[in-house]
A and B are shown apart, each in its own frame.
Chain A
Amino acid sequence: MKFQIEDVTVYFPYDYIYPEQYSYMIELKRALDAKGHCLLEMPTGTGKTIALLSLITSYSLSKPQTPIKLIYCTRTVHEMEKTLAELKLLHNYQIKHLGPQARILAIGLSSRKNLCVNPTVLAAENRDSVDAGCRKLTASWVRAMAAENPNVPTCQFFENYERAASAAVVPPGVYTLQDLRVFGKEKGWCPYFLARHMVQFANVVVYSYQYLLDPKVAGIISKEMQKESVVVFDEAHNIDNVCIEALSVSVRRQTLEGATRNLNRISQEIDRFKATDASRLRAEYNRLVEGLALRGNLPITDNWLSNPALPDDILKEAVPGNIRRAEHFLHVLRRLVQYLRGRLDTENVEKESPVSFVASINSHAGIDQKTLKFCYDRLHSLMLTLEITDTDEFLHIQTICDFATLVGTYGRGFSIIIEPFDERMPHIPDPILQLSCHDASLAIKPVFDRFQSVVITSGTLSPIDLYPRLLNFHPVVSRSFTMSLTRDCICPMVLTRGSDQLPVSTKFDMRSDPGVVRNYGKLLLEMVSVVPDGIVCFFVSYSYMDGIINTWNDSGILKEIMQHKLVFIETQDVVETTLALDNYRRACDCGRGAVFFSVARGKVAEGIDFDRHYGRLVIMFGVPFQYTLSKILLARLEYLRDTFQIKEGDFLTFDALRQAAQCVGRVIRSKADYGMMIFADKRYSRHDKRSKLPSWILSHLRDVNLNLSTDMALHIAKEFLRKMAQPYEKIGGSGRKTLLSEEDLEKMGDGGMDEMLY
């Protein structure tokens, strides 16, 4: 369908549209018109992504003289694929109605590991080895050598790509990662470098958050994005965590040992070069005297991870004299490693601010702040000079330099915490030194400054006024939409007691109580026998899940559950979890039915949808609070309290509830879908906890469902499922329409829209 929003003709690839999608588009358009940032919360399962995509592409189609670029950030690669698939649908529709003028180029960008087509490189196990494998074949000095000596292996795909030079372009269209690989294989061009090249010309770029937020990656990839771009962060409820993680580094004993090995290797290389090719080192010295001539003119393949500090904070001046010579720099690094080793040998937990830490480095190791700041750039330059290609071996020394650079650059918003052992395992000495960032606004600030509009959207941004404070920005539009439902297709319940009327909770003193574990097991067992297809269970942590599964296994509850459904479990091994999920979906597809055990805050809870028959019921066992004794968390809470006046308790509850809402929100995809949500913990019945849930869940949480026991929940579940099985009118009953056709929208244009929507 196509319709008018003020001066923009919106092309929407479906025959109908939800009213909330329509009002979402209106708000979004206001933000684009005002060239400002916005914050939009819309329940899951109301088609946020397609609404966003179709409004922004239509907006830029309607203003051909000032085209805007869309930078769409997803948290995960599979969400990226999904977004691109939706965009493909939309693009086909637009071409059908507008003809060739609607053609756009949209590409997804990921790392070499997901884009490389060279079988020898791809054989490597992990991402870093793939990156290094690629560099071994494509670095500028390797290729220079290969030009002289044909026995030096190179990458055929990259050579073809280079030879094609400016002819190597991707024709307009929507390209998923898979499409890019196929295209690259067909043409014989390297898809990774092709994609990186095309990012500058594409109308839509879809990539991971980190490509924009993590300065190490953003420095290489997103440097040249134009200001007239709309940046969208989808599923952004965790964006503050991504931001602080991007600027945090930790150092462990293994890191220091590895760094020492790296330093030895570097010093050997230096000696070798001194003997054979001393002029090269001298040339580097001269370059460093002139200023930092590293950036800009490097061949694309030589780029490594970029500076960990944010671009505005990087000093644009010459490297200090005392580390210009390679040997001197090496000495500085050795002293730094030595100092850090000394600090790790502590008996007590220590907490320090970066300023005092830098002062103590200065007094003990004789390294001043400015030198620390330049560590990263100096190392990068040295490695290029030494022509080191196996970068995956040098990650340790790189970590040390990242640490040094960050600690030298930032005085505020960070703290350094040294712990001799993990508090949950005090018998195992495992000292760790962490530089942790507390201020999420630091990493995202350049994005807000650089781009015209930044859209932050998710299904759970409640309370919506907290995010502008955490991220320190001023949205021109900030709204939370409710869901108009054709029927009550979600059924949230709070279960506080088992069938034996004993309270259930994962509160610290109760969680290992056998009665609670048994009641949780009984709850699942009862539900498994009445709910069709898929059931998803979320636990508060891996260790809790492991414990409870083992208990259920010993007591035979697990066996009984297996009589009804297959059981799949998320583990910390990503490959295994992925396969388990795949099998889970198969089991739901074929009608066998399955249960998936997962962890709140885990990878599955973050990004996997359990819509339609893949999830008819979600059980959230407990309240997913963070580990409150964590020193880092305490430091962050303190910072939040001092800087933003956010109370500790409020933040913890907010954080736990957004995770819980995130977990249960994965069951709904559209209004034709339906699902139940059980919050199994007595603490959810308290108002201060419950009220933090997003409004679209709260509005369906009836008072009678606030304090249920297992048998009552079972009864409600049966009733609900029976109700959902009845045929219903899709358009919505009397009065409010929940599905709008083109005509409805036209009518609304004449006025009276508000009464229909709100």
Chain B
Amino acid sequence: MASTHVTKRAKYKTTIKDPGTPGTLRMTFEKILFVPHNPKSAGKLDVEFRYIKGKKHTKEGSNKPPWLNLTNNQNGSFIFEFENYSDLQECRDFVGKVLAKGGEVSEKPTVAYPDEQLSAAEMELRIKLLQEDSELQKLHKQFVLSGVLTETEFWATRKKLLDREASKKTKQRLGFKSAMISDIKPSTDGRTNKVTFNLTPEVILQIFAEKPAVHRAFLSYVPNKMSERTFWTKYFRAEYLHSTKNSIAAAAEAAEDEELAVFLKQDDILASEARKKIRRVDPTLDMEADEGDDYTHLPDHGILREGSKEMTESQNELYKRSLSQDINRHAAVVLEGRAVDVELEDTKAVAEALAQSKQKSSNKGESDGDTSRERLDRLSRMTEIEDLQGPNTLPLAPLCIKDPRDYFDSQQANALRSSGDALGEIEQIKCGLSTQEVYGSLRESISSIKAMGLKEPIVKPEVAHQVFDALTNSISNTKYHIGKNPQESVLDRLPRKTKEELLHHWTSILELLKHFWASYPITTTYLYVKVNRLKDAMSNIYPQLEEIKGSVPSELRHQVSLLVRPMHQALDAAIQHYEASMQKRSAQSGERPNGYV
């Protein structure tokens, strides 16, 4: 049955009563082809499958002959009479398969690309977003697949999500691993004493970043003086010597091999960098400056061999490197992040890219003179006592509410306080402003923006703070009134299923309302149709909400009805508006029958 076409003898009838034209029926995935045996007869048929909408057929065992009735989208039908039921079955299955396939094809692409050509990447991004966010996926399923909203409409309100996702994807850079490079453990083959190190460019980059002397040595030695392999062998030899903590042996080996000595010695580049960096350090922790004032610890002054101070062995200092130094250096490099953004493939390329980026940053470090300014800022931040001051006006980061549930909670409290009058109030305000005034204030603000440019925080921090305060205040109020335990929100007291359902309804209502209000004023028939669709979907929600209310235990019913009330209000408002505008419309044109409910 997996064939790509079916060919059967059949009679083609235009109506049931038509005796039919005998001929051959050939069906492929694309089209239906009927060729009468008699070339002169007029029953030739060539229909593409996509016009076919449905199929009917007679049942085996009924007294009717084996007929297959295919209906097209113009409500016409093609009836074929087969010679026997098995032929009918075969054709029926094939048609069913093609229709199913066509349905898939026609469902997806027609919904996905109705009027825009999406790139594969964008599609992928959307799919990824849906996968990551189950809530979004639910909404998508509920509205797009059921046809309430089209794919474009759905995503149009989420442009930001798409943009941000896209921009984030390019900007995010991977940092270094938090594991230390000394944690690279060799693998042994178990028989000989040979060990093997696996070096990836990733690791090499980290080594270069943490040990500038190795980096410099690599640039100057490889490949002129030695191969890359010998270079790394020597490096690990040196690391091994370090790990044995035998500084005398290290000194001896270094004396014999000058390249090895490079790895064993203290990193002079680091030392000079440190000296440069120390000038930019926060003055409130600059301990190096203390040494300048410490006349008690002139060489041999003060108390040397007391319990508190300790001596270090100074022999072979040159070849000694402590674990603490390594750890500090590692953490500093991880913190600085990865400066290089090249594809990590070739070690040489990695080394050179790193060198370049370093030069850039050192140039920058020299050029910018406002480090002292920054130092002072940090100093004053360290000295102020926060809570003794009045409200603070620090530059605020823009608020980004990840979880709308908090907002939901607070909204409920607002609804409690002023359930009825909110709508009216807004209307009043709207009415109070004349067009002139609105125009005037708009002009004013535009000219002020022209004059000064946009202010850095677009919303004044105080205003934002006030709004935020108001919001959070009512959150805590609700909690105070309803939940005794601060960690518990109203929702947490509901059964899990109810809670999820409520949240889901809330988000879906939000989605619908968003689209609903966005389509006013209705200017095109497209919007008209859309509004109708949305209205139907919204009116379907009412019974569902009632059902939820009914399903919860009676002691929670009040809570739930409190939660449901704002949803009802929002929906009521939308439907009211819909009906009002419908009446207006019908009054204006008078053509449309008033048959919408």
Interface residues of A (CB under 8 A from B): 14-18, 47, 50, 76-78, 81-82, 85-86, 89, 110-114, 126-128, 130, 176-178, 207-208, 210-211, 214, 216-217, 242, 244-246, 248-252, 255, 305, 395-396, 398-399, 402, 419, 422, 424-425, 428, 430, 432, 434, 436, 541-543, 546, 549-550, 553, 558-559, 562-563, 566-569, 571-572, 574-583, 585-587, 590, 592, 594, 597, 601, 603-604, 607-609, 625-628, 630-633, 669-673, 722, 726-727, 730, 739
Contacts of B281 in A (CB 8 A): 578-579, 582
Flag if A434 contacts B285 (CB, 8 Å). Answer: no
Contacts of B306 in A (CB 8 A): 626-627, 630, 632-633
Question: Contacting chain A: which of B100-108, B127-135, B378-386, B421-429?
Answer: B378-386
Flag if B301 contacts A568 (CB, 8 Å). Answer: no
Name which residue of chain B comes closest to A722, CB basis: B487
Flag if B305 contacts A592 (CB, 8 Å). Answer: no
Flag if B379 contacts A82 (CB, 8 Å). Answer: yes
Bits for B287-315, please: 1 = Cβ < 8 Å to A, else 0.
11111111111111111111110111100
A249–B311 alpha-carbon span in the complex (Å): 17
- Is B322's CB within 8 Å of the partner chain A? yes
Flag if A571 contacts B379 (CB, 8 Å). Answer: no
- 14 A-B pairs, CB-CB below 8 angstroms? A18-B388, A76-B293, A85-B379, A111-B292, A113-B289, A127-B291, A207-B293, A208-B290, A542-B310, A571-B324, A579-B278, A603-B287, A673-B386, A727-B476
Question: Contacting chain A: which of B54-62, B328-336, B348-356, B568-576?
Answer: B328-336
A559–B177 alpha-carbon span in the complex (Å): 11
Known: A81-B283, A111-B295. 18 other contacts (CB 8 A): A47-B385, A76-B293, A77-B293, A113-B289, A113-B291, A127-B294, A208-B294, A245-B302, A251-B300, A252-B304, A428-B313, A434-B303, A434-B304, A559-B183, A571-B324, A572-B310, A582-B282, A727-B472
Q: Chain B nearest CB: distance from A96 CB in Å?
A: 15
Q: Chain B nearest CB: distance from A134 CB in Å?
A: 12
Name which residue of chain B comes closest to A583, CB basis: B332
Flag if B383 contacts A627 (CB, 8 Å). Answer: no
Flag if B307 contacts A628 (CB, 8 Å). Answer: yes
Contacts of A550 in B (CB 8 A): 323
A592–B295 alpha-carbon span in the complex (Å): 38
Interface residues of B in 250-305 (CB under 8 A from A): 274-275, 277-278, 281-305
Flag if A399 contacts B301 (CB, 8 Å). Answer: yes
Flag if A575 contacts B288 (CB, 8 Å). Answer: yes
Flag if A208 contacts B293 (CB, 8 Å). Answer: yes
Flag if A432 contacts B296 (CB, 8 Å). Answer: no
Flag if A248 contacts B301 (CB, 8 Å). Answer: yes
Known: A78-B284, A576-B325, A581-B285. A419 touches B305 (CB 8 A): yes
A572–B304 alpha-carbon span in the complex (Å): 14
Known: A77-B286, A578-B287. A396 touches B388 (CB 8 A): no
Flag if B331 contacts A603 (CB, 8 Å). Answer: no
Contacts of A576 in B (CB 8 A): 274, 325, 328
Q: Chain B nearest CB: distance from A252 CB in Å?
A: 6
Contacts of B76 in A (CB 8 A): none
- Is B521's CB within 8 Å of the partner chain A? no
A244–B304 alpha-carbon span in the complex (Å): 12
Q: Chain A nearest CB: distance from B181 CB in Å?
A: 12
Q: Which of B183, B299, B390, B486 has the most CB of A within 10 A?
A: B299
A402–B289 alpha-carbon span in the complex (Å): 25
Flag if B328 contacts A244 (CB, 8 Å). Answer: no
Contacts of A47 in B (CB 8 A): 385, 388
Flag if B383 contacts A85 (CB, 8 Å). Answer: yes
Flag if B311 contacts A86 (CB, 8 Å). Answer: no
Name which residue of chain A comes closest to B328, CB basis: A580
Q: Chain B nearest CB: distance from A341 CB in Å?
A: 15
Flag if B325 contacts A571 (CB, 8 Å). Answer: yes
Contacts of A607 in B (CB 8 A): 287, 290
Flag if B299 contacts A255 (CB, 8 Å). Answer: yes
Flag if B301 contacts A546 (CB, 8 Å). Answer: no
Q: Chain A nearest CB: distance from B380 CB in Å?
A: 6
Flag if A14 contacts B388 (CB, 8 Å). Answer: yes
Known: A178-B376, A579-B281, A626-B307. A546 touches B388 (CB 8 A): no
Name which residue of chain B comes closest to A673, CB basis: B386
Q: Chain A nearest CB: distance from B490 CB in Å?
A: 18
Flag if A434 contacts B305 (CB, 8 Å). Answer: yes
Contacts of A77 in B (CB 8 A): 286, 289-290, 292-293
- Is B180's CB within 8 Å of the partner chain A? yes
- Is B327's CB within 8 Å of the partner chain A? yes
Partner of B296, one of A18, A214, A630, A726: A214
Contacts of A244 in B (CB 8 A): 303
A13–B280 alpha-carbon span in the complex (Å): 29
Name which residue of chain B comes closest to A585, CB basis: B282
Flag if B282 contacts A577 (CB, 8 Å). Answer: no
Flag if B292 contacts A566 (CB, 8 Å). Answer: no
Flag if A217 contacts B295 (CB, 8 Å). Answer: yes
Number of interface residues of B (CB under 8 A): 68
A592–B300 alpha-carbon span in the complex (Å): 42
Name which residue of chain A comes closest to B303, CB basis: A248
Flag if B289 contacts A399 (CB, 8 Å). Answer: no
Interface residues of B in 148-183 (CB under 8 A from A): 178-180, 183
- Is B372's CB within 8 Å of the partner chain A? yes
- Is B389's CB within 8 Å of the partner chain A? yes
- Is B387's CB within 8 Å of the partner chain A? yes
A727–B480 alpha-carbon span in the complex (Å): 13
A651–B301 alpha-carbon span in the complex (Å): 24
Contacts of A609 in B (CB 8 A): 284, 382
Name which residue of chain B comes closest to A308, CB basis: B301
- Is B53's CB within 8 Å of the partner chain A? no
Known: A208-B293, A566-B335, A569-B324. A669 touches B385 (CB 8 A): yes
- Is B375's CB within 8 Å of the partner chain A? yes
Flag if B178 contacts A562 (CB, 8 Å). Answer: yes
Name which residue of chain B comes closest to A625, CB basis: B307
Name which residue of chain A comes closest to B277, CB basis: A579
Contacts of A112 in B (CB 8 A): 292
Partner of A399, one of B286, B300, B389, B390: B300
Contacts of A587 in B (CB 8 A): 331, 335
The 9 tightest CB contacts between A and B, nearest first, are: A627-B307, A626-B307, A14-B388, A113-B292, A672-B387, A77-B289, A569-B324, A566-B331, A111-B292
Interface residues of B in 381-420 (CB under 8 A from A): 382-390
Flag if A571 contacts B322 (CB, 8 Å). Answer: yes
Flag if A670 contacts B301 (CB, 8 Å). Answer: no
Contacts of B487 in A (CB 8 A): 722
A559–B327 alpha-carbon span in the complex (Å): 11
Flag if B323 contacts A553 (CB, 8 Å). Answer: yes
Name which residue of chain A comes closest to B302, CB basis: A245
Contacts of B328 in A (CB 8 A): 568-569, 571, 576, 579-580, 583
Name which residue of chain B comes closest to A76, CB basis: B290
Name which residue of chain B comes closest to A127, CB basis: B292
Q: Chain A nearest CB: distance from B459 CB in Å?
A: 21
Contacts of B183 in A (CB 8 A): 559
Flag if B289 contacts A566 (CB, 8 Å). Answer: no
Q: Chain B nearest CB: distance from A126 CB in Å?
A: 7
Q: Chain B nearest CB: distance from A240 CB in Å?
A: 12
Q: Chain A nearest CB: distance from B226 CB in Å?
A: 31
Name which residue of chain B comes closest to A672, CB basis: B387
Q: Chain A nearest CB: distance from B216 CB in Å?
A: 20
Known: A178-B376, A432-B305, A567-B331. A582 touches B285 (CB 8 A): yes
Name which residue of chain B comes closest to A112, CB basis: B292
Flag if A633 contacts B307 (CB, 8 Å). Answer: yes
Partner of B303, one of A114, A436, A579, A730: A436
A568–B301 alpha-carbon span in the complex (Å): 30
Flag if A574 contacts B291 (CB, 8 Å). Answer: yes
A616–B210 alpha-carbon span in the complex (Å): 29
A424–B308 alpha-carbon span in the complex (Å): 13
Flag if A114 contacts B298 (CB, 8 Å). Answer: no
A379–B126 alpha-carbon span in the complex (Å): 85
Flag if B310 contacts A543 (CB, 8 Å). Answer: yes
Bits for B466-481, please: 1 = Cβ < 8 Å to A, else 0.
0000001000100000
